[in-house]
Amino acid sequence: MNSVKQSNQIKHYMHRYSFLILLSAVIAIGLAKNVAASQISVHEKIENEIHSYIKAKIDKSPDKKTEIIISPIDRRKKLSFCNNNLSIALASKNGLKRNNTVSVACNGAWRIFVPVKVKTLSPIVTARKNLAVGEFLNQQNLEIKYIDTSLVIGPVVYNIEDITGSKVKRYIQGGRPLLANLICMVCKGEQVNVIAKNGKLQIKSTGLALNDGSRGQKISIKNNSSGRIIEATVMAVGQAEINLKKY
């Protein structure tokens, strides 16, 4: 009888002990999750404050867009919550650039350095599709896209209307920016309208373009009437201008 009683007591203690072990495990798991969540919140808080700091430093322009790309902070870094405001500053004294390093510190408890990239996107003319040599430019084969112009080498175009009617002189891949040196507003071998100006006086003539030119470029033109070769500045598609004061 005593042995049965002892057996029941042992079973009772075993069940109670197992329950306590299970409860301890559940509590430990919960605490671990809370610690992990706390760590994630710290990292997210830092990244959010960096974003706000950089955004405040960017010059606002209505016709441009800005992208702030913060390199994710390693979640394995154990960073305690900061009771006071974080100390955030650019690591370089050269001001905000495309590639930056931001210093973030908490009351001497810790300091980290976070890479931040700032992209300034401008609305420029791009090819809607692949453009072959000799193709005329228009609203159907051009479009405006926001592009990081710091990565574009060459003179970009901002207005479709300015180059409508121009001709492609070098193959342009779809999606690429339209560069002024890839097109001609006045093309070699084509007729061009010439306006000679001297104050209010204007003399109009026509001639044959002897070389390609885009807006602002000087080209040589053979006058149809006199056969004289003159130098004129390209102003628009099929149009060039001469300043008579220089002659």
As a dihedral over the C-alpha atoms of residue 14, residue 20, residue 23, residue 24, rounded to 10 degrees, the angle is -120
pLDDT in tens, 38-52: 445 788 899 999 999
Domain ranges in the chain?
1-119, 128-184, 191-246
Token pair belonging to 205: 């003539």
For the domain spanning 128-184, the CATH number is 3.90.1210.10
Look at residue 37 and tell me whether its pLDDT is greater than 80. Answer: no
Query: What's the pLDDT tens digit per position in 6-19?
Result: 555 545 545 555 54
User: pTM score, two decimals?
Assistant: 0.63
DSSP letters for the chain: -HHHHHHHHHHHHHHHHHHHHHHHHHHHHHHHHHHHHHHHHHHHHHHHHHHHHHHHHSPP-TT-EEEEEEPPPPTTS--PPPSS--EEEESSSS---SEEEEEEEETTTEEEEEEEEEEEEEEEEEESS-B-TTPBP-TTTEEEEEEEGGG--S-B---HHHHTT-EESS-B-TTSB-BGGGEESB-TTSEEEEEEEETTEEEEEEEEESS-B-TT-EEEEEETTT--EEEEEEEETTEEEEEGGG-
Q: Residue 232: pLDDT band by 50, 70, 90 thresholds?
A: very high
pLDDT digits (tens, 9 = 90+) for 174-215: 999 999 889 999 999 999 999 998 877 888 999 999 999 988
In this chain, the answer to whether the domains covering 128-184 and 191-246 adopt an identical fold is no
Q: For domain 191-246, give the fold.
A: SH3 type barrels. (2.30.30)
